[in-house]
Amino acid sequence: DGGITQSPKYLFRKEGQNVTLSCEQNLNHDAMYWYRQDPGQGLRLIYYSQIVNDFQKGDIAEGYSVSREKKESFPLTVTSAQKNPTAFYLCASSVSRQPQHFGDGTRLSIL
């Protein structure tokens, strides 16, 4: 089945550590997105990519980095510069102006 796969489902980060969240899609979508969701809040855009080897900052990009080396993959790194990383992270993809489809998320916590 086509879809968006995020891994791992749960992730723990130690102080000063960088962690990488995986997002893979087999929908052949050009655009991919990363959102952060805090308890009781809506979705805030971290980074997005419209095509391979190109990406743009969203509203809350500080402390995060991304790469887009392949069409189907858009990993997100939460760096040690992100002082409040505990959140639910959602990856999405879309084609043209069609609605975005979401993965099942990764929950990141601090040890």
Partner 1 sequence: GQQLNQSPQSMFIQEGEDVSMNCTSSSIFNTWLWYKQDPGEGPVLLIALYKAGELTSNGRLTAQFGITRKDSFLNISASIPSDVGIYFCAGQPEAGNMLTFGGGTRLMVKP
Residues at the contact surface with partner 1, assessed by CB under 8 A: 4, 6, 31, 40-45, 48, 50, 58-59, 90, 92, 94, 96-97, 99-105, 107
Distance CA 93, CA 15 (A): 31
Comparison of 16 and 39: residue with beta carbon closer to partner 1: 39
Tokens 């969240």 -> residue: 21
Taking the complex as a whole, the smallest distance from the CB of residue 18 to partner 1 amounts, in Å, to 24
3 state DSSP class of 81:
coil
Taking the complex as a whole, the smallest distance from the CB of residue 89 to partner 1 amounts, in Å, to 10
Taking the complex as a whole, the smallest distance from the CB of residue 100 to partner 1 amounts, in Å, to 6
Long-range contacts of 40-49 (CB under 8 A, 24+ apart): 43/90, 46/76, 46/89, 47/76, 49/74
Comparison of 62 and 104: residue with beta carbon closer to partner 1: 104
